[in-house]
Every structure is written in C-alpha cells, then in structure tokens.
C-alpha cells in the first residue's frame, strides 16, 4: 500500500496483537504496546519483536516516566467482564471496569500531543449496561478528553437516528470469516485535529461467508488429545447430536446439552475456551469427534498462518484463552482502512 506518510499506533490491552496486526496490514507503524498478562506478552513479543512492549498494568503506565511516544492512533480493547452478560455486570464498580478511566488518564497526559484517533472495543452489552448510564459516562469522559464522540443512545437509552461513534459489528456479517461474533467498536476524533465528526463504519459484507471447513485442518489427523472418547459421557452427547444433525456443522457443549450451529459458521470464540473442553467448538472429521485446535481458532479470528505463531511450549489452555480474548483481525482492518482515509483527508 502506497501512502504519503506512515501513521503511528499505540495499543493498550494489546493481548496477542489483534489490533496491531490489523493496523500493520493497512500500512501503519505500531511503535509501542501495553499488556499485563505474562503469557499474552510472550506471544506478542514472539510475533512483534520490533514493537516496544510495556509489560505492566495500564494503571502503572505513564506518558512521562515511560517516555510514551505520541501516536496518531491509540487502540484499546479494554476489559469486558464487568459489562458482559456472562460476567458480574458490576460495571465501574468492578476494578476491571474502572480500567477504562486509565485510557482517559493517558489521553490527558499526552496533552496537546494526544492521539488523533482512538479506537476502542468491548462487548455489545456495554451499550445497554445499567440502562445505558455506563455508556453515557463513557461518552462524557471521551468528550472531556478533547474528542468528538457521540453515543448511539440518549440518556433514556433510546437509539439516536443521527450519526454516532459506536457500532455493534458482527464478524460473520462484516467479513468473510464464518464466526458469529458481535462486538461494540468505538471511534473518536481529536477536536484539535479534526474539524468535524465523520466516520464510516464497515457496511455488511456482500461477498458471503467462506466455508468454515476452509479454516480447518481436515487432511490430516489432529493430535489425539483433541479427540473425544465416544464412549465417554461427553463423547456420547456429541455423537448423538451429530448423528441427528449435519456432520459438517460446528457443535458446542453448553451446560447439559449440545448445540449445533446451523448458520454454516462457528460459535463465538471466547476466553473461556481456555477453561476446558465445554467451551471449545467441536467438529467431526475422518478420524472422530474433536475440538477445534488453537491454530484453527486463530484462523477464525483472522490470524493468518504466515503472520502469526504461538511461541513453542505455550500451554494449549493459554492459547485458547488468548485467541478468545482477541479481536477479529479482518474486521478491525476495515476500521483501520477507514482511519487511514480519514487521516489522509484531514491532512489534505
């Protein structure tokens, strides 16, 4: 990709670098990142050795003492557990929920050199959490930090008809990747750099989905550890469900029953995959019934084989957790492409 200038990116809560890979693919230079989890840090450094990684809590990160370079774009997929339907829903009462305010603190520490654009990601329930009062607080905080930002809901939780800076995007609707994954994306613009608030979120993908089995290694037998013993309790449950359903579908054990995904895609990949086989999608191949491997799950998050590898010896449970915590690269890359157009237009 040819462009007049190489724009820079900093990434908070970087994880294994989903945001970073997406922006790199669009020609951006990711110059620094921050992550606390030691296993995710190992994976990040393995794939992005050229990027300076601050391995500490965002609460301990400082623009001044850590000599954080000013960047054009700041990304942050901040912790979602306190806003998720599957979590405790304590919002800003949960220490993890309060980490959002560390983003605001760092923006203010940059002063006049604050990022031109910030791109945030979280679960879709953040939009309606606490009757939309949580998101209203986020809107005010971002605006007070010097950014154009309008929530898609008003104080009463009603959807606004005019433009907003937040949108729920689904991987299977906006890319060719067959994963049912809804996430809330937010994009804000510095009032010091932009004269207006104008951003086009990705439209629905008209190309259709790729076959989920294109992402799987079906030509060879997987490691025996991924296969179920079909005489075991869970093995029997999957075998019985698959016998009644489509052998090419993806299945998932939810509590005491097995679900079949009948939309030719996989279920949402979650961090809970690292907590046991109940949360990992399951398929049937020529050798039996097995869980998707971490490599296959990575592909379904947009991590290409030639761009991403787990470091040798990384525990499988940690690999699953890291993939589930990541953003879908292909989807974020569409946001990155629009950020590039927006920056170039403002420059002209």
How far apart are alpha carbons 108 and 101 in whole angstroms? 11
Structure tokens at 286: 């020529």
Strand partners for 120: 76, 186
- In terms of C-beta density within 10 A (0-12 exposed, 13-18 middle, 19 or more buried), how is residue 346 classed? middle
Q: 4, exposed or middle or buried, with CB in 10 Å at 0-12, 13-18, 19+?
A: exposed
Q: Is 265 a catalytic residue?
A: no
Kindly name the residue from 20, 41, 80, 265 that is annotated as catalytic. Answer: 80
Q: Write down the residue that tokens 């339907």 correspond to.
A: 85
For residue 176, the SS3 value is coil
Report d(CA 295, CA 157) in Å as an integer.
Answer: 40
CB-count exposure of residue 139 (10 Å: 0-12, 13-18, 19+): buried
DSSP class of residue 191 equals T
| Number of residues written out for the chain | 348
CB-hemisphere CA count at 13 Å for 61?
27
Q: Which residues are catalytic?
A: 80
């Amino acid at each position: 990709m040819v462009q007049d200038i190489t724009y820079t990116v900093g990434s908070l809560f970087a994880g294994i670098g989903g945001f970073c890979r997406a922006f790199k693919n669009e020609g951006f230079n990711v110059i620094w990142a921050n992550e606390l989890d030691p296993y995710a840090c190992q994976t990040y450094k393995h794939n992005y050795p050229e990027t300076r990684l601050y391995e500490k809590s965002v609460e301990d990160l400082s623009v001044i003492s850590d000599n954080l370079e000013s960047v054009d774009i700041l990304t942050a997929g901040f912790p979602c557990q306190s806003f998720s339907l599957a979590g405790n829903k304590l919002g800003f009462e949960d220490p993890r929920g309060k980490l959002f305010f560390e983003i605001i603190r760092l923006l203010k520490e940059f002063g006049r050199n604050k990022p031109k654009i910030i791109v945030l990601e979280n679960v879709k329930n953040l939009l309606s959490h606490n009757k939309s009062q949580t998101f209203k607080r986020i809107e005010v905080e971002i605006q007070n930090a010097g950014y154009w930002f309008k929530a898609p809901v008003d104080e009463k939780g009603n959807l606004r008809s005019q433009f907003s800076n937040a949108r729920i995007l689904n991987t299977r609707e906006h890319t060719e990747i067959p994963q049912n994954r809804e996430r809330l994306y937010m994009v804000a613009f510095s009032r010091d750099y932009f004269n207006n608030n104008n951003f086009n979120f990705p439209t629905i993908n008209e190309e259709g989905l790729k076959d989920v089995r294109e992402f799987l290694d079906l030509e060879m037998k997987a490691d025996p550890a991924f296969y179920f013993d079909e005489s075991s309790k869970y093995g029997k449950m999957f075998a019985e469900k698959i016998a009644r359903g489509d052998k090419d579908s993806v299945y998932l054990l939810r509590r005491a029953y097995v679900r079949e995904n009948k939309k030719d895609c996989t279920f949402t990949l979650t961090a809970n995959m690292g907590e046991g086989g109940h949360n990992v999608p399951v398929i049937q191949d020529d050798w039996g019934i097995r869980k998707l491997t971490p490599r296959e799950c990575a592909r379904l998050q947009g991590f290409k084989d030639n761009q991403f590898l787990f470091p040798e010896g990384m525990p499988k449970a940690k690999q699953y957790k890291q993939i589930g915590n990541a953003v879908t690269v292909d989807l974020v890359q569409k946001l990155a492409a629009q950020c590039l157009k927006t920056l170039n237009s403002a420059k002209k």
